[in-house]
Amino acid sequence: MRKVGFILHPGYSPMSLAVSTVFELANLQADEPVYDVRMLSAKGGPVRTSVGFEVMTAPFAGETLDLLVVGGSMEDATPEVIAFVRTAPQFARRIAAPCVGALVLAEAGLLDGRRATTHWMYARDMAKRYPRVKVEEDRIFIADGPIWTSAGMTAGIDLALALVEEDLGLVAARQVARKLVVYHRRSGGQSQFSTLLELEPKSDRMQAVLTYAKRNLADRLSVEDLAERAHLSPRQFSRAFQSETGQTPAKAIEHLRLEAARTLMENTAHPIDVVAQQTGFADRDRMRRAFLRAYGQPPGTVRRAAYRHGASDRIEA
């Protein structure tokens, strides 16, 4: 049985506990339990989470573990936690840190010379504080040798699913993802950002227009088309849209198309012409110009970079 230890310290985010559910469900669907999951802390006993309730833990023992998980906390890790994590490579085959747990690994020196990621809100601070860490702030998760790090919140589930896949295979990981009602195989190289979230329309009317546009990117999606969906005149729609999102309709649609095209370029083998047609760019030249404006790279370069990340992040091509 694979022993998995979760380090908890005061201020631990309950969201980080969701990672343990991936291993719980892997056990439930297996013929016999595969993972022995335990909660650990410096002294054992109850540990207060960031929202106030407590979780019972066992004290650090330095026993052999298949996986040690250092979750995110709203408070700095204690010297005892840092010291324990620093010795983890001696007794843990793999070490994972969702969200700001990566800062604990960095403080312990485990990320020196390695690629790593964390929640986008803390990535630049992490890069500044720990210059020996190769921080990649726009990644869902990264595995550099035995060290795994992920972005914040639900990205920890993506990391855990990838670990289960490494242990038990793709079918088992997909079954766990289905039970969690999440999309399996959100790639480690995928962006942490979402165009729809960044636009943040204030009204249901504009949200509905953007949702419609995202589902119909191959269509023309002119201002007139979108205004009709919003039951406004084109002039009224353009004013209202820019007021709510800070962008013109044309620019917002281009960003949605870019996001969709980049996802297809990174996660499929579709020819560039096909990707351009499916995302509404009409032809590869127009899509290429948009990629250069947004990313400073043509689509082919983005695809090759994703392939390199996929190999090192252990993502299925």
Q: For 116-126, b where at least 16 C-beta lie within 10 A, e where not — what string?
A: bbbbeebbeeb
Rounded CA-CA distance 177/182 in Å is 5
Name the pLDDT band for 317 (thresholds 50, 70, 90): very low
- 8 A C-beta contact, residue 133 and residue 127: yes
Max CA separation in the chain (angstroms) = 68
pLDDT at 311: 45
pLDDT at 312: 44
pLDDT, mean of residues 187-211: 72
Length of the chain (residues)? 317
pLDDT, mean of residues 37-60: 93
Which is more confidently placed, 67 or 246? 67
Residue type for position 144: D
pLDDT at 72: 80
Residue 145 CA: distances (Å) to CA of 32, 105, 208, 295, 314: 28, 14, 43, 28, 10
Name the pLDDT band for 199 (thresholds 50, 70, 90): confident
Which is more confidently placed, 188 or 172? 172
Name the pLDDT band for 71 (thresholds 50, 70, 90): confident
Alpha carbon of residue 301 to chain centroid: 22
Which tens digits make up the pLDDT trace of 111-142? 999 999 998 888 889 999 999 999 987 778 88
pTM above 0.85, yes or no: no
pLDDT at 183: 62
pLDDT at 186: 54
Closest CA to 30 of 196, 143, 164: 164
pLDDT at 89: 96
Rounded CA-CA distance 257/290 in Å is 9
Domains of the chain: 2-180 (3.40.50.880), 195-311 (1.10.10.60)
pLDDT at 313: 43
Q: What letter would DSSP give residue 49? A: B
Residue type for position 120: W
On the question of pLDDT at 250 being above 50, the answer is yes
